[in-house]
Amino acid sequence: MRLFDLSLKLNGFDIHKAKSALSEIQAKNDADFTAYVEHQKNTIVSYHLEHNSFYKALGKSIHLNDWNSVPIITKRHLQQPLEERLSDDFTPKTVYLNKTSGSSGDPFIFAKDKWCHALTWAEIMNRFGWYSIDFNSSKQARFYGIPLDKKGYYKERLKDYFGNRFRFSVFDLSNEAFEKALIKFQSTKFDFINGYTSSIVQFAKFLKRKNIILNAVCPSLKACIVTSEMLFDDDKLLLESQFGLPVINEYGASELDLIAFQNTKDEWQVNSETLFVEILDDNNNVLPNGQEGRVVITSLYNKAHPFIRYDLGDIGVLSKKSTIRKPILKKLIGRTNSIVVLPSGKKAAGLTFYYITKNVIENDGNVSEFIVEQSKIDHFIIRYVSREELSFDKKELITAEMKRYLEAGISVSFERLKQLKRTEAGKLKQFISKL
């Protein structure tokens, strides 16, 4: 029995029809695919100009034959009551509703019409299928957050049941919790792991301390898919080593769709079937492939709510090998609100800065997790969880390395904690700017 497909259909998401539609899109030749994308861009803009008063007010200067005249939508535009953003003939009761995680600092409630959301699931299931994962039959070990209120908790547990998955809470990353997780892996035929990068990395570090390879105790495992947080190269190596599995990098946004998924050739393949992805500079000009800029995305099917040229708040680079049919995300650098601004005026990506520190701070295995906060333009606080207090020499080395990679004149302080603060969804925001 295809229980997962059935649960989607019972909730109004025609997954069978969506899978067929996706197959038809993928079967198009290059010329027809290019025409299809242009047609969908024009169709979705025209629809919202006619049926959505919020978008009509925003897009007064749009000329349908000029894509550059289509305005950029930011998260700040969307921080108003949902009813004011819904298209005609849609109500909160007739759409898929959810809330963004707030990891960007700008959370809001969003809507997707049910056909659009069915296509989202068709896309996800198609990509996971590259690794022989079937949501109807493959058992998932899920490292995600879970609501702590009784109603929300049991609702998610029910969804987990229909989704053929077992959820490990990311709010408890203690050795005791991981011991219980290990027992569950030993007794359950999981097919794949899916969840937040930082939590899965912590589980891998626990396994390393115990000298355990996960695939040896749970041989049914096929793959590990990480999402929602940056995956650093050394963490990927750790996961591959301790799990004995291919580690697949997923990039998505709940309000949109699956954006990019690592294919079997180790390319971060962008979803070109239901999304149109652009990389723009600060003046909203489209950048050539290979250049770094803002990730701006159009949802080609969402009629309930406009996500047209939507600035996701991320910075990325498309590979020069990209085509309309097969865009490749070469690099995801981080969020635009995670930029380090230094006293000299120099700027650096927050996650790049974090990566520099990570190489120094975690090389002896003492520190399990840390975050960096910029409290003043010349001062940074490193909050960390460790078995032992960082030594004076280690702190001096970290400070010296930060000055070497960033600039002189900055100061660094350290704060040891029992656990780090995560978002309500359970994600770890690795760099925070208080400027």
Cα-Cα-Cα-Cα torsion 187, 193, 197, 200, nearest 10 degrees, comes to 10
pTM of the predicted model as reported, rounded to 2 decimal places: 0.81
* Helical ranges in 133-196 per DSSP H: 150-162, 175-187
Residue 294's beta-bridge partner residues? 280, 315
- Residue 243 belongs to domain spanning: 3-138+222-264
* Domain presence at residue 58: yes
Integer Cα distance of 120 and 227 in angstroms: 16
On average, the pLDDT of the chain sits at: 89
- The answer to whether the beta carbons of residues 316 and 295 sit under 8 Å apart is yes
pLDDT confidence tier of residue 58, bands split at 50, 70 and 90: very high
Look at residues 70, 73, 120, 76 and name the one whose alpha carbon lies nearest to residue 98.
120
121 and 34 within one domain: yes
115-135: average pLDDT: 96
292-297: average pLDDT: 95
How many domains does the chain fold into? 2
- CATH number of the domain bearing residue 372: 3.30.300.30
* Domain presence at residue 166: no
Integer Cα distance of 361 and 59 in angstroms: 48
Where among 212, 231, 264 does a domain terminate? 264
350 and 260 within one domain: no
Integer Cα distance of 298 and 257 in angstroms: 10
Burial class (CB in 10 A: 0-12, 13-18, 19+), 47: middle
pLDDT recorded at residue 358? 63
Q: Which amino acid is at 355?
A: Y
pLDDT recorded at residue 175? 87
* Domain presence at residue 258: yes
343 and 260 within one domain: no
Look at residues 286, 332, 338, 288 and name the one whose alpha carbon lies nearest to residue 309.
286
* Domain presence at residue 392: yes
Determine the Cα angle at 346 with ends 343 and 348, to 5°: 115
* Domain presence at residue 377: yes
Integer Cα distance of 217 and 187 in angstroms: 9
344 and 260 within one domain: no
346 and 242 within one domain: no
* Domain presence at residue 12: yes
| Half-sphere exposure in the Cβ direction for 347 (13 Å, CA) | 6
Integer Cα distance of 197 and 239 in angstroms: 10
How do residues 94-109 score in pLDDT, each as one tens digit? 999 987 755 544 567 8
pLDDT recorded at residue 172? 78
Q: Which tokens sit at 260?
A: 């990019």
| Rg of the Cα atoms in the chain | 22
pLDDT recorded at residue 361? 66
* Domain presence at residue 311: no
> Within its chain, how far is the Cα of 67 from the centroid?
27
129 and 36 within one domain: yes
Where among 238, 264, 290 does a domain terminate? 264
122 and 23 within one domain: yes
358 and 260 within one domain: no
243 and 102 within one domain: yes
How do residues 317-365 score in pLDDT, each as one tens digit? 999 999 999 999 998 876 654 667 889 887 765 655 655 666 666 656 6
Look at residues 191, 165, 162, 167 and name the one whose alpha carbon lies nearest to residue 180.
167
pLDDT confidence tier of residue 369, bands split at 50, 70 and 90: confident
- What are the DSSP E strand ranges found in 147-222? 165-169, 192-196
pLDDT recorded at residue 261? 96
* Phi and psi based region of residue 313 (left: phi greater than 0; alpha: psi -120 to 50; beta: remaining): left
> Within its chain, how far is the Cα of 185 from the centroid?
25
* Domain presence at residue 207: no
368 and 246 within one domain: no
How do residues 159-201 score in pLDDT, each as one tens digit? 888 788 999 988 778 888 899 999 999 999 999 999 988 889 9
Higher-pLDDT residue of 90, 403: 90
